[in-house]
Structure 1
Amino acid sequence: MQKPLLIIGNKNYSSWSLRAWLLLKAFNVDFDEQPIELFHPSATPILNEHAPTGKVPVLVYGEGDEKVTVWDTLAIAMHINEYLTDINLWTGISKSDTNAQTDNQDRINSAYCQSIIAEMHSGFMSIRNEMPMNIRATAKIQPSTACLADIARIETIFAECLKDRPEDSFLFGAFTAADVFFAPVVLRLQTYADASNITLQPLTKQYCQTLVNHPHIQAWQKSALQETRIIEEDEAGEILSLVGVLAN
């Protein structure tokens, strides 16, 4: 099979690109990546060729009548799980593990994992709007009541998933697609929470640290800090400090 190509936006800002990229990396799919500049004319020909919605991320492979095009990160996750990996994205367990296939707890975890992914995919609009992903920045905002309610709901999800798990655990023990879909939230909290006097629960802070320690997330952040473009549409709040190339 031809190696898949993932088209993504600026790593400092593009939360949905991070999700698709991390899905492929974490679940051992060999792929090429093609970055584009968000909100820039240079991206138009690439998006016109590959992206039916004109948005990133887009996963493509094959040619002619056999070309596969998958857009929207949730669809990309489902496609990866069905066709491109030997690991079950919803449980983090090998598909060849026959015991797991009949284990009721894994079925419960899979259902919960899919549900919180769908909730993240379709909701939390206030935190998205008020706390856009901006990896290189520390920024202060005045969160609305709706934004704080989003954060509270996210903390409840984390607490329910991590109850009785080891200190350095991912949401379902093994790394799953749920960790992928909540990764941009963790990076948003890293940018805004302390600077905006948003108090997080100890378990939330613990999980955030576990996730930012993940090697693929660290690799994404390292690349993001080398970017120099500032996209005003994705900037928010009072910037208190910067790291990376723009800090020099």
Structure 2
Amino acid sequence: MPDPILYIGNKNYSSWSFRPWIGMRATGIAFEERLVPFDMENGNPDFQTFSPTGKVPVLVDGDLTIWESLAILDHAARLYPQSHLWPENTAFRSQAMAMSSEMVSSFMALRSACPMNMRRERKPIEVTPAIAKDVNRIQSLWSSSLEKSGGPFLFGTFSIADAMFAPVVNRLDVYAFETMPEVRAYMDTMKALPAWQEWETAGRAEPWVVAEDEA
């Protein structure tokens, strides 16, 4: 069977594309990458040719089309159990799902004020109470998981939870948030992944610029 096709947006900016891409790449799951840039005000009309929502990412696996980052990662985990994308430990697996789901639905202040940007100059922004609340919650989640698992990833080995929070690692880094030592060590571990470095290098080389890049 041919490899599944993962449609993604700009590597410099597309946080939702980054999540399934790094999850699959870091665990050795083969896929064909198709990048469709969104260097337009409202995305890209070409998205409609492969995406039921008009957004990225989308995974096309034979006759099956899957949208939404967490659903793509869960599909990959079930199709390739040898990837161990979900932790083998039952308790860890449930917590990883809870954390991943919280990432989908939460942290709106941080996500709005601090878009993912691989080539942004590292400098701080004005931190509002809402942003500080989000960052504190994230650091609490990470430090608690690292303490329980022993690291170096949130649940010991790389998992879907790490993939879902990968864009947040970029945000805390390039927007120069103060972090706890164990959080900084975790961020360094994520950034040292060959998959991370492959994505970041490609993102930095992209020609497309959107408004956030000028901020």
| TM bucket, shorter chain | over 0.9
Is it true that 1:9 corresponds to 2:9 in the alignment?
yes
Alignment of structure 1 residues 51-200 onto 2, 5 Å: 51-62=51-62, 67-91=63-87, 93=88, 106-138=89-121, 139-163=123-147, 169-193=152-176, 198-200=177-179
One-letter code aligned to 1:88: H
Is it true that 1:210 corresponds to 2:189 in the alignment?
yes
The answer to whether the 8 Å contact 1:27/1:85 transfers is no
The answer to whether the 8 Å contact 1:6/1:33 transfers is yes
1:30 corresponds in structure 2 to 30
The answer to whether the 8 Å contact 2:19/2:164 transfers is yes
Task: Go from structure 1 to structure 2 and tell me whether the alpha carbon gap of 1:107 and 1:223 turns closer, same or farther (over 3 Å shift).
Answer: same
CA distance in 1, matches of 2:29, 2:210: 30
TM-score, structure 2 as length reference: 0.92
Q: Which of structures 1 and 2 has the bigger CA Rg? A: 1
TM-score, structure 1 as length reference: 0.81
1:23: how far off? Answer: 1.8
Q: Deviations over 1:39-71 (max 9, x none)?
A: 4389423x1221011000000132xxxx11000
Q: Deviations over 1:213-245 (max 9, x none)?
A: 11100111011111121111x4474xxxxxxxx
Aligned partner of residue 69 in structure 1, secondary structure:
strand
CA distance in 2, matches of 1:83, 1:123: 28
Aligned partner of residue 54 in structure 1, secondary structure:
coil
CA distance in 2, matches of 1:53, 1:42: 12
Alignment gaps of 5+ in structure 1: 94-105, 238-248
Q: Which has the higher contact order (CA 8 A, sep 6+)?
A: 2
C-alpha RMSD of matched pairs (Å): 1.8
Percent of counterpart pairs with the same letter?
Answer: 35
Alignment gaps of 5+ in structure 2: none
Q: Deviations over 1:186-229 (max 9, x none)?
A: 11111102xxxx32111111111111011100111011111121
